[in-house]
Copies of this chain bind each other. A is one copy, B any other.
Amino acid sequence: MKISEMGEFKLIESLSKLVGKPRDDAVIMGIGDDAACWRTEDGMLLATTDSLVEGVHFTLKVTTWRELGWKALSVNLSDIAAMGGIPKYAMISLGVPRDTDAENISRLYQGILELAQAFDVDIIGGDTVASPVMMINITLIGVVPGGQDILTRKAAVPGDQVAVTGHLGASSAGLAMLNREIEFNYHIAKALREAHLKPSPRVAEGQALARCGVKACIDLSDGLMGDLEKLCKSSGVGARVFIDHIPCHPATVESFEDAAVTFALTGGEDYELLFTAKASVIEGVREAVSCPVTVIGEVVKGRGIRALDEAGIEVHVGDRGWDHFGRRGR
């Protein structure tokens, strides 16, 4: 079977089976969460890796080299954030077409460094090789603050509320704006562009979640519905999402109006944190962090994610929006 027919999730599932359980019992989390985690004598370490490939994840027609560097590191920072960790060391691997201007690679590095310095991350190594297209792979190593637990995808339990940090949908709205060359006013265009190309990973917030007693978390990279499904599947639970509770990004609402909720539900790359916990724990989180925290649903027994409209009627959420099982809404 071709990879394209199989899909990414099934492929990862099959590779994960092949790899099997780690033999070293210091490994607390192997394949299947936002980052791997293992115990050392003086605490827990985290490692995550993410690749961006030209033509697949980005195009240099709309992304500057600096922005590309920033984004490549930010997606990794977001994975460490989703474990409640402190990012420490990055390894940068580049695949570079031979006719690339060296100055552009410097700009790429400047984008990485700008974000690395903001989060106190040291670049400790890497690899640079020739490649037919530009590609960036970053591995980020982090630590878990002493005495603290990691956040995982396996810890959601029925009765938990489902919450998110920040606002959703602006990244994919930004992508749509850039790809379709839609013109908005300066402030909206800037907000959407930055949401897509310079996301701010929720590193401090991830640590605050862990301190406040949250156990279950994932970062929003593939889209709210898809990532919630992954979280719930790992935990062996289901969830209900209240569509009218979703904190759509104001710039998206202003620019794309009714489609804003679709971007928020399925758009992806928001790099906000999606987490579940008891109501009282979420109250604590709200006081501990400076960004918005919004309850958007609840964890239930069983399987699957159901999205409900303001009347409590189940709606179907697809890539192109959501509808009442066939009738396209909004």
Residues of A with Cβ closer than 8 Å to B? 1-4, 6, 8, 11-12, 14-15, 18-19, 22-24, 27, 29-31, 35-36, 38, 40-43, 45, 47-53, 55-57, 88-89, 91, 93, 95-103, 105-106, 109-110, 113, 120, 122-133, 135, 137, 139, 141
- Please determine whether A132 and B55 come into contact, CB atoms closer than 8 angstroms: yes
Q: Do A130 and B56 touch across chains, with their CB atoms under 8 A apart?
A: yes
Q: Which residue of B lies closest to A4 (CB)?
A: B98
Contact of A14 among B89, B98, B106, B141 (CB under 8 A): B106
Number of copies of this chain that the complex holds: 2
Q: How far is the CB of A179 from chain B (nearest CB, A)?
A: 17
Partner of A2, one of B100, B113, B125, B141: B100
What's the minimum C-beta distance from A48 to chain B, rounded to whole angstroms? 7
Determine the chain B residues whose CB is within 8 A of the CB of A105 once the complex forms: 3, 11, 15
Task: Please determine whether B56 and A11 come into contact, CB atoms closer than 8 angstroms.
Answer: no
In the complex, what residue of chain B is closest to A54 when comparing beta carbons? B132
Q: In the complex, what distance in Å separates the CA atom of A18 from the CA atom of B112?
A: 11
Chain B residues positioned under 8 Å from A52 (CB to CB): 129
5 contacts between A and B (CB under 8 A): A2-B99, A3-B99, A14-B102, A19-B123, A49-B137
Contact B56 A91 (CB under 8 A): no
